[in-house]
Amino acid sequence: MQGTYAKLGLKQGWFAPSLTHSSSRNISQLAKVKIMKRPGGKWEELKIPSSIRSIICLNLPSFSGGFNPWGTPGTRKKQDRDLTAPYVDDGLIEVVGFRDAWHGLVLLAPNGHGTRLAQAHRIRFEFHKGAADHTFMRVDGEPWKQPLPSNDETVVVEISHLRQVTMLANGHCKSKSVEEPLTPSSHGHENDDSDSLEDEDEWKEGRKKFGAADTFKLPDEVDIAHLS
């Protein structure tokens, strides 16, 4: 199933922009992104790096058949940027960015994740007239083509928590609660990722060769020859 998602993602840009899309089209050219970090707080503009061309908003650590785009922030990231693991009941939305489809493939690597942009209670996309007349969006696996303004009007898409419901889960469930006694934050046995996977300065075009890490390995069921 993950191989199917990877193929669709590379071809159509579902979890990261298509390889055939122009690299000059990025989020900052299409929209202004604002976040509200806590309930009742103020809206703050979220600065999106010019290299980011797709954004994923999550409220649980599972996406496209089990990928975890947010991952588990390492100790340095927690201290420097006040980031936490993705808990399902903390009232926060994880906002993750990707540069292109090749960047999306890091999710197949151990501890791979996207560029962590923010954790917020609410997020708002204010689309304006820009480099394209439409963009592609996806909610709970269902994609659609979103028309963008052709004049001075603004199209606003806002995502926020509404309420919570009780769910049953087994002991191997990836999703964790902030109230769980065995969560990583309680015991310190977190699976720290490599901070170098995220730093924008270290990911500038041509600076890193994808797949250079010794630990990188595609799953056996993924045939890379069929992804083009």
Domain spans of the chain?
A: 2-226
For residue range 34-79, list pLDDT tens digits in order: 999 999 999 999 999 988 888 999 988 887 777 888 988 877 777 7
Rounded average pLDDT over 24-37: 86
Answer positive or negative: Cα dihedral of 74, 78, 81, 83: positive
Residue 11 DSSP class:
H
Task: Report residue 137: phi and psi, to 5°.
Answer: -125, 165
Q: In the predicted model, is pLDDT for residue 127 greater than 60?
A: yes
Residue scoring higher pLDDT (212 or 133)? 133
Q: Which of 4, 51, 12, 44 is nearest to 29 (CA)?
A: 51
- H and E: helices and strands count for the chain: 5, 9
pLDDT (0 to 100) of residue 26: 79
CA distance 192 to 1: 27
pLDDT (0 to 100) of residue 156: 93
**Which pTM does this prediction carry?**
0.69
Longest CA pairwise span in the chain (Å): 53
